[in-house]
Amino acid sequence: MNEWIPRIPLADWIDRFVDWLTSNFGGIFDGVATGLEGLVNGIVSGLGFIPPILLSLIIAGIAWWLTKKSIALFSLIGFLIIDYLGYWDAMLSTLALVLTSVIISVVVGIPIGIWASQKDTVRKIVTPILDFMQTMPAFVYLLPAIFFFNIGVVPGVVASVIFAMPPTIRLTILGIQQVPEDIIEATESFGSTTSQRLLKVQLPLATPTIMAGINQSIMLALSMVVIASMVGAPGLGEEVYRAVTQLKTGVGVEAGLTIVIVAIVLDRITQNAGKKKQRGN
């Protein structure tokens, strides 16, 4: 069969395309890299300016407001343990990477999800792209990211955005489409425009589902921190990767425990944020 059907040089085509992009749009990629690196460094500097005990209390206060006392207590104790173990700076770098990735995922993903929920054609185009983004191994995203942005935190952010954005888009579409038809018909009978129906009815009712998508994006971004460390991204992933390569089990467990604490706190806060907003409405 191989004798009669020639091999498709897909890899060569992709390599040439990447080289063409790098040659013709290198200035744009440099600007994007500078902006992303500045955003990450700004978050790290802003959070690092706050003393660890004060930042732990702030996070615990947010958890108390949005969740319950037990989660607030866990947040306070957990972040103090992170500081005590000596991973505070690494945790801030990881938190900055995750927040940057999630901010981009939300700013880009929610409008795309809203657009796709209103247009069947857009949804049919977006769905296979999301399938591709979610099923392609995350390591593959690092290769072109390195060519476009060199090594460092920026390729990690780009790979995290690609990997973490699909849940935000999918659940935004799902949340808007799950708004009951009788409510939609009632708004139409009162003469609401499409934008009024979207902003005043569909989005408020879809908020818990959209927040679930953001929650999943945060968890996926956190799962990328170790992979991002392989291209020079600093943070807890770097500590885990170093522990694996040097066979330091204790250090690996400590860094992994720190990631677990951050993940649980962010998960509980974002899980309850949408529910609280809906109750407030």
Reduced 3-state DSSP string for 174-188:
HHHHCCCHHHHHHHH
Instruction: For 105-119, write each residue's pLDDT tens digit.
Output: 999 999 999 999 888
Span 89-110, mean pLDDT? 90
**How many CA atoms, within 13 angstroms, populate the side-chain half-sphere of residue 4?**
1
In Å, what is the CA distance from 9 to each residue of 12, 14, 89, 136, 144?
5, 9, 46, 19, 18
pLDDT at 31: 84
pLDDT at 3: 58
153 pLDDT band, cuts 50/70/90, is confident
In this predicted structure, the answer to whether residue 138 has a pLDDT above a threshold of 80 is no
Q: Report the distance separating Cα 162 and Cα 97, nearest Å.
A: 13
In this predicted structure, the answer to whether residue 10 has a pLDDT above a threshold of 90 is no
**CB atoms inside a 10 Å sphere around CB 45:** 11
8 Å CB contact between 159 and 221: no
pLDDT at 280: 52
In this predicted structure, the answer to whether residue 82 has a pLDDT above a threshold of 70 is yes
pLDDT at 169: 92
Q: Report the distance separating Cα 191 and Cα 183, nearest Å.
A: 13
Span 110-139, mean pLDDT? 87
Span 235-251, mean pLDDT? 83
**CB atoms inside a 10 Å sphere around CB 35:** 11
pLDDT at 144: 74
Structure tokens at 78: 């957990």
Share of the chain above pLDDT 90, in %: 14
pLDDT at 195: 77
pLDDT at 279: 54
Instruction: For 264-280, write each residue's pLDDT tens digit.
Output: 888 888 877 656 555 55
* Single-letter amino acid, residue 168: T
Q: Which residues contact residue 132 at a Cβ distance below 8 angstroms, ignoring those fewer than 6 apart?
A: none
pLDDT at 278: 53
Instruction: For 166-210, write each residue's pLDDT tens digit.
Output: 999 999 999 888 888 877 777 777 777 777 777 788 888 888 888
Q: Report the distance separating Cα 59 and Cα 71, nearest Å.
A: 10
In this predicted structure, the answer to whether residue 1 has a pLDDT above a threshold of 80 is no
Burial of 257 (0-12, 13-18, 19+ CB in 10 A): middle
pLDDT at 76: 92
In this predicted structure, the answer to whether residue 236 has a pLDDT above a threshold of 70 is yes
Q: Report the distance separating Cα 83 and Cα 55, nearest Å.
A: 11
pLDDT at 5: 65
Share of the chain above pLDDT 70, in %: 95
Mean pLDDT of the chain: 83
